[in-house]
């Protein structure tokens, strides 16, 4: 196996292509987006991910990596295209089939096709049959197919691509063998071998399990609100139990995996997924609860003669320390609050998201967090980016803070730590001048 074609140069495909080239394969990355191909060829990875620019540049210089909007013949094709959901929360497999269609036209005897995209149980087999039907080749004899779901966390993609264990599921033994061979060149984690359907089920249950655990954390937060307790404190101490590992409540579950993948199971197994359905409902409701909380606070401030309270949103990404706003609950909250211009003024800040992306949205963007804080009556913390957690809690002095992600608790924990004491440099003189309105 020498030549590899990787289809879909996004958050998974591009890093995988770069690593495969660095491992010695001749790699051609393929994408339908011509502008993306142009940018990658210039050394611009288009996505924000630690190490990626440097690794891309080295791969381009190394001579084993190129990208094209024409799919190249190869020994192995790797499908890393998105699988969003369409109406009725059903998996949209159109990108997977578009990729399979392109591969079918180039399929040669001995080829291996790997699907890394997350897919409903049974899809690998269906795609394999599609390839057989649309080529002159016999499945399991002339060409081989496997599912090898990606498992990496944005922000740690290269580390996790190399170090995580992987599960691969082939439609036959030879498919497993070839797939294991492909990954063995750059994966240091254990490659666990199974069948295609088990691999699909494993990937989906991993993400559904996380969704259920986050729903549990959100329920704990709701109970704590009623009981006037700090859920982050409750969870931190509960996690001191050796067999308890609760996750954290946030403003909602976003991104393109955790909030999507449980639906692929619900779609296939409607009778056996009650718990996943409830978890989805709890997590989807969370942004609506936050919106209501802000509107209630705005109404309360109005009754205290602040006619249009100034709301400053901190964080818009779907989770901390990423630039990704796809299916972001924070974005959903800001977009909805913006519609209530009669009741409040809104300013939004997120240093991780490029300005040209933010400018597509109707709300007002602030590029200086200190100005935003000083300007606001209410600070709405939606994402706990690490830079926010390094601020001193005094920056919020005199403000109403609606904290949806435990920023204040983390600030307090950090500030009791001797190591960080004095290491956090914050110019408090500036904000203090405008922050003395007693609103709380």
Identity of the residue, 261 or 377, whose beta carbon is nearer to ligand SAJ in the bound complex: 261
**Nearest residue to 435 (alpha-carbon basis) of 351, 363, 362, 376:** 376
Identity of the residue, 150 or 410, whose beta carbon is nearer to ligand SAJ in the bound complex: 150
| d(C-alpha 334, C-alpha 412), whole Å | 26
Q: Is 68 exposed, middle or buried (0-12, 13-18, 19+ CB in 10 A)?
A: middle
Identity of the residue, 33 or 206, whose beta carbon is nearer to ligand SAJ in the bound complex: 206
Instruction: Tell me the closest approach of the beta carbon of residue 57 to ligand SAJ, in angstroms.
Output: 25
| d(C-alpha 372, C-alpha 312), whole Å | 6
Q: What is the DSSP letter of 152?
A: P
CB 150 within 8 A of CB 132: no
Instruction: Tell me the closest approach of the beta carbon of residue 99 to ligand SAJ, in angstroms.
Output: 17
**Nearest residue to 234 (alpha-carbon basis) of 250, 251, 217:** 217
Counted residue by residue, the chain has a size of 440
Identity of the residue, 77 or 232, whose beta carbon is nearer to ligand SAJ in the bound complex: 232
Q: Which pair of structure tokens corresponds to residue 400?
A: 């109403």
Identity of the residue, 40 or 257, whose beta carbon is nearer to ligand SAJ in the bound complex: 257
Q: At what angle are helices 123-133 and 94-104 packed, to 10 degrees? A: 30
Residues at the contact surface with ligand SAJ, assessed by CB under 6 A = 118, 150-154, 206-207, 210, 214, 217, 247-248, 250, 253-255, 257-258, 318-319
Instruction: Tell me the closest approach of the beta carbon of residue 19 to ligand SAJ, in angstroms.
Output: 15
Identity of the residue, 167 or 214, whose beta carbon is nearer to ligand SAJ in the bound complex: 214
Identity of the residue, 37 or 253, whose beta carbon is nearer to ligand SAJ in the bound complex: 253
Instruction: Quote the strand ranges of 303-405, DSSP E.
Output: 310-314, 345-349, 364-365, 378-381, 400-403
Instruction: Tell me the closest approach of the beta carbon of residue 262 to ligand SAJ, in angstroms.
Output: 11
Q: Which pair of structure tokens corresponds to residue 40?
A: 């990658």
**Nearest residue to 369 (alpha-carbon basis) of 386, 387, 354:** 387
Residues 6+ apart with CB under 8 A from 381: 314, 315, 388, 401, 402, 403, 404, 405, 407, 408
Exactly one of 36, 203, 319, 384 is catalytic; which is it?
Answer: 203
437 given a catalytic annotation: no
Q: How far is CA 62 from the centre of its chain?
A: 30
Q: Residue holding tokens 């490659």? A: 191
Strand order of the sheet with strand 364-365? 364-365, 345-349, 310-314, 378-381, 400-403
CB 222 within 8 A of CB 215: no
257 given a catalytic annotation: yes
CB 76 within 8 A of CB 110: no
Q: How far is CA 161 from the centre of its chain?
A: 15
Instruction: Tell me the closest approach of the beta carbon of residue 150 to ligand SAJ, in angstroms.
Output: 6
Instruction: Tell me the closest approach of the beta carbon of residue 350 to ligand SAJ, in angstroms.
Output: 14
Exactly one of 28, 176, 251, 257 is catalytic; which is it?
Answer: 257
Instruction: Tell me the closest approach of the beta carbon of residue 363 to ligand SAJ, in angstroms.
Output: 20
**Torsion on CA atoms 232, 236, 237, 238, rounded to nearest 10:** 90
What residues are paired with 195 via a beta bridge? 170
Instruction: Tell me the closest approach of the beta carbon of residue 388 to ligand SAJ, in angstroms.
Output: 14
Identity of the residue, 15 or 29, whose beta carbon is nearer to ligand SAJ in the bound complex: 15
CA-atom Rg of the chain in angstroms: 24
Give catalytic residues, as residue numbers. Answer: 203, 257
């Amino acid at each position: 196996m020498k030549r590899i074609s990787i289809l879909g140069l996004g958050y998974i495909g591009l890093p995988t292509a770069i690593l495969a080239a660095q491992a010695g394969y001749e790699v051609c990355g393929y994408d339908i987006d011509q502008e993306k191909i142009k940018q990658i060829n210039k050394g611009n990875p288009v996505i924000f991910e630690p190490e990626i620019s440097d690794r891309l540049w080295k791969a381009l210089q190394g001579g084993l990596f190129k990208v094209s909007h024409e799919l190249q013949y190869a020994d192995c094709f790797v499908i890393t295209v998105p699988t969003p959901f369409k109406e009725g929360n059903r998996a949209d497999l159109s990108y997977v089939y578009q990729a399979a269609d392109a591969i079918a036209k180039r399929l040669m005897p001995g080829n291996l096709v790997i699907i890394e995209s997350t897919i409903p149980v049974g899809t690998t087999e269906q795609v394999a049959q599609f390839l057989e039907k649309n080529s002159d080749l016999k499945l399991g004899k002339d060409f081989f197919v496997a599912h090898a779901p990606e498992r990496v966390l944005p922000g740690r993609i290269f580390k996790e691509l190399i170090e995580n264990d992987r599960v691969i599921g082939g439609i036959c033994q030879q498919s497993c063998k070839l797939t294991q061979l492909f990954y063995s060149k750059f994966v240091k984690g254990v490659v666990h071998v199974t069948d295609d359907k088990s691999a699909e089920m494993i990937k989906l249950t991993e993400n559904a399990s996380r969704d259920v655990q986050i729903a549990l954390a959100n329920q704990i937060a709701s109970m704590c609100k009623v009981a006037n307790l700090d859920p982050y404190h409750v969870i931190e101490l509960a996690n001191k139990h050796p067999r308890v590992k609760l996750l954290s409540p946030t403003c909602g579950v976003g991104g393109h995996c955790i909030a999507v993948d449980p639906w692929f199971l619900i779609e296939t197994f409607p009778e056996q997924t009650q718990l996943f359905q409830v978890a989805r409902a709890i997590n989807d409701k969370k942004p609506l609860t936050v919106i209501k909380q802000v509107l209630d606070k705005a109404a309360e401030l109005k009754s205290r003669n602040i006619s249009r309270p100034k709301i400053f949103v901190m964080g818009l990404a779907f989770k901390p320390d990423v630039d990704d706003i796809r299916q972001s609950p924070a974005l959903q909250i800001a977009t909805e609050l913006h519609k209530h211009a009669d009741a409040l003024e809104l300013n939004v800040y997120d240093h991780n998201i490029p300005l040209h992306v933010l400018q597509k949205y109707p709300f007002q963007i602030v590029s200086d967090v200190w100005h935003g804080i000083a300007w606001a009556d209410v600070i709405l913390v939606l994402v706990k980016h690490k830079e926010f957690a390094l601020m001193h809690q005094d920056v919020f002095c005199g403000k109403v803070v609606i904290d949806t992600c435990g920023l204040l608790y983390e600030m307090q924990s950090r500030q009791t730590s001797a190591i960080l004491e004095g290491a956090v440099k914050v110019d408090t003189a500036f904000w203090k001048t405008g922050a003395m309105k007693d609103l709380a």
